[in-house]
């Protein structure tokens, strides 16, 4: 997976809970991605309650803001927590 010098992953594999298809997607750093349409079955993925985005719910890596918070030792909840 793509990782930058600062150790943040920029891509994650999203796995559809309906059909199991795994899709590699680029993670935005400056906004939440609340919806992702599975290219296999057209299910619209949404974040689970308490998660900030589809990457934190369905990805193999959390979004960059959560990665940063974890690296800093904070309990950040993601890109929308303000």
Does any domain span residue 79? no
Does any domain span residue 43? yes
pLDDT tens for each residue of 24-67: 999 998 888 999 999 999 999 999 999 999 999 999 999 998 98
Taking a C-beta distance cutoff of 8 angstroms, is the pair 58, 14 a contact? yes
Does any domain span residue 61? yes
Does any domain span residue 1? no
Does any domain span residue 80? no
Which two structure tokens, joined as six digits, stand for 53? Answer: 């985005």
- The pTM for the full model equals 0.81
Count of the separate structural domains present in the chain: 1
Helix (H) or strand (E) holding 24: strand 22-26
Domain residues for the domain of 20 are 11-71
């Amino acid at each position: 997976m793509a990782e930058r010098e600062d150790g943040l992953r920029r891509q994650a594999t999203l796995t559809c809970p309906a059909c199991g298809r795994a899709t590699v997607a680029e993670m935005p750093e400056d906004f939440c991605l609340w919806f992702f349409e599975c290219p296999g079955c057209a299910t619209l993925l949404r974040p689970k309650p308490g998660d900030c985005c589809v990457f934190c719910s369905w990805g193999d890596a959390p979004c960059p803001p959560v990665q940063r918070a974890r690296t800093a030792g904070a309990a950040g909840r993601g890109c929308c927590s303000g």
